[in-house]
Amino acid sequence: MRLSLRLVVSLVLGITLVSTLFTYYEYREEKGRREAELEKRAADIGESLQQAVQPALANGQRRVITRIVEKFSNRESLAGLAVYDTQGVPLAITPQLQDRFVAEPEILKTAVANSKVIGQFAQMQDVTLHLYALPLHDEDGRPLGGIVIVHDATFIESELKDMLRNTFLHALVQMLTVSLITLIIVRLSIQGPVTRAAQWMKALRTGRLTPHAAIPDFDLFPPLAYEVENFANSLQAARASASAEARLRLMAESSWTAERLAVFVKEKLQGSRLFVISNREPYIHQKNGDKGPKVVVPASGLVTALEPILCACDGTWIAHGSGDADRSVVDSHSRLRVPPTEPKYTLRRVWLTKEEEDGYYYGFANEGLWPLCHIAHTRPLFRIQDWEHYRSANQKFADALIDEMSFTVSPVVLLQDYHFALLPRMIKRARPDAKVAIFWHIPWPNPEAFSICPWQTELLDGMLGADLIGFHIQSHCNNFLESVDRTLESRIEWDHFTVKRENHITAVHPYPISVVFPEVPPSSLVEKNVTMAKAALRKQLGIDPLFLGVGVDRVDYTKGILERFLAVEKLLESQPAYIGQFTFVQIGSPSRTQIKRYHDLLEETSLEAERINKRFQAGSWRPIVFLKHQHSHQEIQPFYKAADLCMVTSLHDGMNLVAKEFVAARDDEHGVLVLSQFTGASRELQDAVIVNPYDIGQIAKSIHLALTMDNAEQQARMRRMRKTLKEQNVYRWAGNLITDLCEVRLDANGAIHALENKDQDFAQAS
Least CB distance to ligand G6P at residue 528 (A): 34
Q: For the stretch 4-16, what's the b/e string if a residue is b when 16 or more beta carbons lie within 10 angstroms of its beta carbon?
A: beebbeebbeebe
- The rounded distance, in Å, linking the Cα atoms of 603 and 588 is 12
Task: Please provide the distance, in angstroms rounded to a whole number, between the alpha carbons at the two ends of the chain.
Answer: 58
For residue 359, what is the DSSP state? I
Contacts of 365 (CB under 8 A, 6+ apart): 279, 390, 418, 419
- The rounded distance, in Å, linking the Cα atoms of 499 and 99 is 135
Please give the backbone phi and psi of residue 514, each rounded to the nearest 5 degrees, phi first: -145, -160
- The rounded distance, in Å, linking the Cα atoms of 95 and 82 is 10
The interaxial angle of helices 258-269 and 730-742, nearest 10 deg, is: 0
- The rounded distance, in Å, linking the Cα atoms of 55 and 61 is 9
CB 703 within 8 A of CB 645: yes
CB 22 within 8 A of CB 166: no
User: Which residue, 284 or 672, has its beta carbon nearer to ligand G6P?
Assistant: 284
For residue 555, what is the DSSP state? S
CB count within 10 Å of CB 690 equals: 17
Collapsing DSSP to helix, strand or coil, 90 comes out as strand
Sign for the pseudo-dihedral over CA of 657, 509, 686, 374:
positive
User: Which residue, 374 or 722, has its beta carbon nearer to ligand G6P?
Assistant: 374
Q: If 0-12 CB within 10 Å is exposed, 13-18 middle and 19+ buried, where does residue 557 land? A: buried
Binding site for ligand G6P (CB under 6 A): 280, 417, 441-442, 591-592
Partners of residue 134 on adjacent β-strands: 147
Q: What is the dihedral of CA 305, 307, 309, 314, to 10 degrees?
A: 170
Please give the backbone phi and psi of residue 277, each rounded to the nearest 5 degrees, phi first: -125, 130
User: Which residue, 653 or 687, has its beta carbon nearer to ligand G6P?
Assistant: 653
- The rounded distance, in Å, linking the Cα atoms of 679 and 486 is 26
The interaxial angle of helices 423-430 and 384-404, nearest 10 deg, is: 40
Collapsing DSSP to helix, strand or coil, 123 comes out as strand
Closest of 659, 677, 678 to residue 721, by C-alpha = 659
Closest of 330, 332, 348 to residue 282, by C-alpha = 348
Least CB distance to ligand G6P at residue 441 (A): 4
User: Which residue, 592 or 622, has its beta carbon nearer to ligand G6P?
Assistant: 592
Least CB distance to ligand G6P at residue 215 (A): 32
Largest CA distance in the chain: 151
Least CB distance to ligand G6P at residue 280 (A): 4
- The rounded distance, in Å, linking the Cα atoms of 731 and 724 is 14
Residue type, 57: L
State yes or no: cis peptide before 339, omega within 30 of 0: yes
Collapsing DSSP to helix, strand or coil, 722 comes out as helix
- The rounded distance, in Å, linking the Cα atoms of 576 and 582 is 10
Partners of residue 286 on adjacent β-strands: 294
Least CB distance to ligand G6P at residue 360 (A): 12
- The rounded distance, in Å, linking the Cα atoms of 695 and 276 is 40
User: Which residue, 280 or 538, has its beta carbon nearer to ligand G6P?
Assistant: 280
Collapsing DSSP to helix, strand or coil, 354 comes out as helix
User: Which residue, 367 or 433, has its beta carbon nearer to ligand G6P?
Assistant: 367
Which helix (H) or strand (E) segment is 345 a member of? strand 345-350
CB count within 10 Å of CB 282 equals: 21
Instruction: Give residue number: closest CB to ligand G6P.
Output: 441
CB 136 within 8 A of CB 56: no
- The rounded distance, in Å, linking the Cα atoms of 244 and 255 is 10
Collapsing DSSP to helix, strand or coil, 470 comes out as strand
User: Which residue, 570 or 592, has its beta carbon nearer to ligand G6P?
Assistant: 592
